Structure 1
């Protein structure tokens, strides 16, 4: 694992960096997750060994620093990552983002579209989060109430079918999870959906088959976005069917 110090801050983002001569693939995880947890298996499949692969733990998550004075909003994560790309001289990358990491990827692309070869998103937040989304559920609390209940939430997940998410959520700063969830429900002057539609690079939207049906199956292709499906998986497709997700990502690279 490597680390990158943010400009003008003592905070460090930590990331896995696997070598390869092809265009680097940047993996950006979602709420409660971590690149170092979610994507190591996928990134090291034979399909991707020709690419440099960078798996990021966002600030506040995984092995990265967890400062209390950082404002955990999507645009702020995107700004940190744009500086990361610049300082590591990553002038052309493939951007992969999952869920809220997809929203961060969309914002990041807006800051440096000239550096993005293609944008591959798995069930990203395109619209303000509504009931049924984890970020919406978290945002219903006050920050103090969420912080007081996070331990019981983790134990509830660990005792049921969501043990993987419980394992990674334990390594999140509660304030980071709460603040980005609040950000996810906000109505934006320029919605992430509109930003995603506006880009001129190749764009891909990946569904887990268990998430369907969705109106976006028809809507997205109208905006020149290629839709793909990972079979036998829901929202957490990197955990539910890593082989299937790897194959679909590989198809997006052709």
Structure 2
């Protein structure tokens, strides 16, 4: 089992669970989350920024399959090594899908999930980054120039971290994300007996099945003035959620 790399920001000796940040596809945890860590509501907490295998500063083994389950097992190994049990996991996009799988496989490691536009279903729409990357043949993406072409098309923020990812790892991770899990990430999330918050930005606000999620106990929060990268677009709302201060939304507030 390979471990993802993590950076650990110790907090004061307060009896609170550690916060673990898990990035999205082609991203890196510190870039997307370090700016929120100094907020007074989080600064006293132990905080870990984990780069999944093939991303950021982590190892990039060529023999790794990079499925969601593999990433979850690597995340578990990193948390075991750090002694971070019962953590609050803040997972963005693909990282949220990995966090869901982790919570299902290793419930001892997770006490709460804060998911930012996490992938819940296999075969996302073609406009999604994972679907676009997975549509390439692996060899063409890794050695045929397709990776460079994708870097030219994505927005500059994503490109800045994606270029740090290993092309093989990025492609296999995208394929694994498109394939999803069985049961699906959505069904795993709905069955978890822990506190769960799902953040969706109001720019698209295209979360399907939200009433069903809310009915299962998932707290769905629509964040104003935010797109997919809520931690940048509305950092205070993101911090509120990670700190456990997000307002509760009832199931009857949604129609789907």
Question: Shift of residue 229 of structure 1?
Answer: 2.2
In the alignment, what sits opposite 2:25? Answer: 31
Structure 1 residues 83-122: aligned runs within 5 Å: 83-122=77-116
Q: Does 1:131 align with 2:131?
A: no
In 2, Cα distance between the equivalents of 1:74 and 1:35? 17
Question: Shift of residue 187 of structure 1?
Answer: 5.6
1:153 to 150, 154, 173: 150
In the alignment, what sits opposite 2:4? Answer: 13
In the alignment, what sits opposite 1:74? Answer: 68
With the length of structure 2 as denominator, give the TM-score of the two structures: 0.87
Question: Shift of residue 32 of structure 1?
Answer: 1.1
In 2, Cα distance between the equivalents of 1:173 and 1:29? 15
In the alignment, what sits opposite 2:252? Answer: none
Question: Shift of residue 243 of structure 1?
Answer: 3.0
Q: Does the 8 A contact of 2:23 with 2:92 survive in 1?
A: yes
Q: Does 1:224 align with 2:217?
A: yes
1:190 to 183, 201, 215: 183
1:39 is paired with a residue whose SS is: helix
Q: Describe the shift of the 1:12–1:221 C-alpha distance in structure 2 as closer, same or farther (beyond 3 A).
A: closer
Number of aligned residue pairs: 241
Q: Describe the shift of the 1:224–1:240 C-alpha distance in structure 2 as closer, same or farther (beyond 3 A).
A: same
In the alignment, what sits opposite 2:39? Answer: 45
Unaligned runs of 5+ in 1: 1-6
User: By percentage of residues, which structure has more strand?
Assistant: 1
1:143 to 138, 141, 156: 138
In 2, Cα distance between the equivalents of 1:189 and 1:244? 32
1:175 to 168, 173, 183: 168
In 2, Cα distance between the equivalents of 1:88 and 1:197? 28
Q: Does the 8 A contact of 2:91 with 2:116 survive in 1?
A: yes
1:233 is paired with a residue whose SS is: coil
Question: Shift of residue 108 of structure 1?
Answer: 0.5
With the length of structure 1 as denominator, give the TM-score of the two structures: 0.88
Q: Does the 8 A contact of 2:200 with 2:207 survive in 1?
A: no
In 2, Cα distance between the equivalents of 1:152 and 1:131? 17
Q: Deviations over 1:35-71 (max 9, x none)?
A: 0211100122121012101011111011112222221
- Displacement over 4 Å in runs of 4+: none
Unaligned runs of 5+ in 2: 249-256
